[in-house]
Amino acid sequence: MSLTQNPNVNKWVDEMIALTKPEKVVWIDGSEEQLAALKAEAIATGEMIELNQEKLPGCLYHRTQPNDVARVEDRTFICTKKKEDAGPTNNWMDPQEMYAKLTPMYDGVMKGRTMYVIPYSMGPIGSPLAKVGVEVTDSIYVVLNMDIMTRMGKAAFENLGDTSDDFVRCLHSKADVDPEGRYIVQFPEDNAIWSINSAYGGNVLLGKKCFALRIASYQGKNEGWMAEHMLILGVKKPNGEVKYITAAFPSACGKTNLAMLIPPEGYKKDGYEVFTVGDDIAWMKQGEDGRLYAINPENGFFGVAPGTNAKSNYNALASTMKNTIFTNVAINNDDMTVWWEGLDKNPPENATEWKGAKVNGKEFTASGEKLAHPNSRFTAPAINCPCISPEFNNPAGVPISAIIFGGRRASTTPLVYQSFDWTHGTYIGSAVSSETTAAATGAVGVLRHDPMAMKPFIGYNVGDYWQHWLDMGAKLGENAPKIFNVNWFKKDEDGNFLWPGFGDNMRVLDWIIKRCEDEVDADETAIGYIPKKGDINVEGIEDEVTPEIMDKLLDVDKDLWTKEIAEMRRYYNDDIAANGGKIPAELYEVLDKIEANLAK
Ligand code: OXD
Ligand code: MN
């Protein structure tokens, strides 16, 4: 029975029922009893495996098909009436053509299955920044994950009310999980998302990438706010004041690690603390006081498991100790716990690897095989996180002082630099590039442009998106956050990382906050402001980060930067402008200015 009087929702759900023809329809109210029954059913059918309930209470395991382990960017579409509105960074098809193509695929696809109707809120219920979605799906895995990742259930309809039409219509069917028929399609002009033939999180938890980034970025442009692929963290200073920072990095570049950073001993002793507001997505809007406020629209973490351990990210690991769903990691059959590469140095001997084969984990990994898929994930409730911010559920969000961009760059990009102003910061965002990771299908380790770390997620024309950034800056004026770029991944000639990273990234955040408060000066270089010698605190890591190494970390190599700028000009011209991206003139002016600076 429907959980809402809203005729727009009921009409749409009826249409979806008529299309997919499920045997049964279950509205998800979010109650404990309903979720417990769904878990029991998923365990009984083998869709989920129950893990050790003493060591990992409430935790479940799920395995996806080997051909369905990551987002599929080549099968992801933005369908707008005009092709130019999707722009050069998206696959496009005319909406009518796409509906005509997909409708027969969905016709009767849920025959003999149950359709779950999931109401959910992205953002705290009652927040003026929150938005409602309704996802229909034939997957219990999706229901259980959406429960962790969103505010799911009847309460979401309270935000929508009885008459509003402003909800995102999300249709998902796993169908036959056929990679040839896999489509992840956004219809921004219809507030709709259609996903078929996948059961992998990023393709099917439609509140996340599809809604909170692709659809929301489009809504944000039209409604004057921003949806960004950014973590949100708070740094509490010894005087008790908390400064909030957002940061955008391409997928699997350590956003979750930075969001949950534990400060080095010296900082802890001085009274610094770091709080996590979000690890992946920020929705930001100007507040009444003129500043930019951010909420995390999500309610959980969909984190990459490999590499997560007590040292690299204690807080993420702690977040996974209860009520978590693990996908495509390895199982230790001796005690039904989980394992992944980088958790510790002891792969279980009696293991089940991510594809389901029973193996001797020690021999298996010794032969170079991976027990866990490199993009295996945990879906963990945010409230589990030991450093979750007290402001996590604040409907007003948190005021942002600084915005950081970054990527994996072995050379060229210094450890940290600050933009000259918001326009230059927008340019820096447009210039984010990174070596590819396992979060999307395709080759790993290739340098690709990923503007604002949003390339796979901008729901409209990238040129208009950059213009929207400039418009937001103009609106924010003096209140605009300062913009920085960081690179934790710079290497020496022998391929060794120069910077220890992880908790020591606090040292860079410290400098960033000091810059926001005008507490430190900086050196002006051709590309932006760089820390003055000695201004990055290396107390406790002096042996590792010697003054020579710090010089290398902060070096701005003229030749490399001249090449970088030439590549950016090529990227703007050939990849973007030549393919229908309208690049704002201000961004070309930045390019000209930096080029002139370098020639000096
Ligand atoms: C993610 C991603 O899952 O960016 O967050 O791929
Ligand atoms: Mn992400």
Task: Give the H/E segment covering residue 469.
Answer: helix 462-476
Give SS3 for 173: strand
Does one domain contain both 453 and 514? yes
pLDDT digits (tens, 9 = 90+) for 230-253: 999 999 999 999 999 999 998 878
Percent of the chain having pLDDT more than 70?
98
> In this structure, is residue 52 part of a structural domain?
no
> In this structure, is residue 59 part of a structural domain?
no
Yes or no: say if 412 and 557 are a contact pair by the CB < 8 Å rule.
Answer: yes
Does one domain contain both 137 and 262? no
CA distance 227 to 180: 31
Residue found under tokens 């600076």 = 597
Does one domain contain both 404 and 552? yes
Phi/psi of residue 187, each to 5°?
-115, 85
> In this structure, is residue 522 part of a structural domain?
yes
> In this structure, is residue 324 part of a structural domain?
yes
Nearest to 17 by CA among 152, 183, 171: 171
Going by alpha carbons, the residue nearest to atom 4 of ligand 1 is: 251
Atom in ligand 1 nearest the alpha carbon of residue 439: 6
Domains held by the chain: number: 3
Does one domain contain both 18 and 167? yes
Catalytic: 516? no
Atom in ligand 1 nearest the alpha carbon of residue 250: 4
Ligand whose nearest atom lies closest to the CA of 70: 1
pLDDT digits (tens, 9 = 90+) for 163-185: 999 999 999 999 999 999 999 99
Domain containing 335 equals: 301-384
Does one domain contain both 307 and 286? no
Please spell the DSSP secondary structure of 215-276, one letter per residue.
IHHHHHHHHT-EEESEEEEEEE-TTS-EEEEEEE--TTSSHHHHHT----HHHHHHT-EEEE
Does one domain contain both 462 and 415? yes
Say which CATH number the domain at 166 has.
Answer: 3.40.449.10
Assign 38 a pLDDT band (cuts: 50, 70, 90).
very high
User: Could you tell me which residues come within 8 angstroms of residue 360 by beta carbon, excluding any fewer than 6 positions away?
Assistant: 349, 350, 351
CA distance 140 to 42: 7
Task: Give distance in angstroms: CA of 530 to centre of ligand 2.
Answer: 28
- Give residue 360's pLDDT: 98
Nearest to 362 by CA among 374, 372, 350: 350
Does one domain contain both 28 and 134? yes
> In this structure, is residue 63 part of a structural domain?
no
CA distances in angstroms from 359 to 16, 62, 330, listed in the order given: 43, 18, 10
Say which CATH number the domain at 465 has.
Answer: 3.90.228.20
Q: Which two three-digit tokens encode residue 133?
A: 């979605």
Yes or no: say if 484 and 417 are a contact pair by the CB < 8 Å rule.
Answer: yes
Assign 447 a pLDDT band (cuts: 50, 70, 90).
confident
Does one domain contain both 125 and 162? yes
Assign 445 a pLDDT band (cuts: 50, 70, 90).
low
Going by alpha carbons, the residue nearest to atom 3 of ligand 1 is: 202
> In this structure, is residue 191 part of a structural domain?
yes
CA distance 395 to 377: 28
Among 352, 384, 416, give the residue marking a domain's end: 384
Position 31 pLDDT exceeds 80: yes
pLDDT digits (tens, 9 = 90+) for 114-134: 999 999 999 999 999 999 999
Task: Give the H/E segment covering residue 170.
Answer: strand 167-173
Yes or no: say if 388 and 382 are a contact pair by the CB < 8 Å rule.
Answer: yes
> In this structure, is residue 56 part of a structural domain?
no
- Kindly compute the dihedral angle of the four CA atoms of residues 293, 298, 304, 307, in this order, to the nearest 10 degrees: 50
CA distance 92 to 79: 5
Ligand 1 pocket, residues with Cβ under 6 angstroms? 71, 202, 251, 280, 302, 439
Q: Which of 59, 253, 385, 387 is catalytic?
A: 253
Instruction: Determine whether 81 is exposed, middle or buried from the number of CB atoms within 10 Å of its CB (0-12, 13-18, 19+).
Output: exposed
- Give residue 382's pLDDT: 98
In 342-438, which ranges are continuous DSSP H helix?
361-366, 422-430
CA distances in angstroms from 529 to 212, 230, 261, 419, listed in the order given: 33, 22, 25, 6
Does one domain contain both 431 and 535? yes
Average pLDDT of the chain is 96
Does one domain contain both 210 and 232? no
Atom in ligand 1 nearest the alpha carbon of residue 70: 6
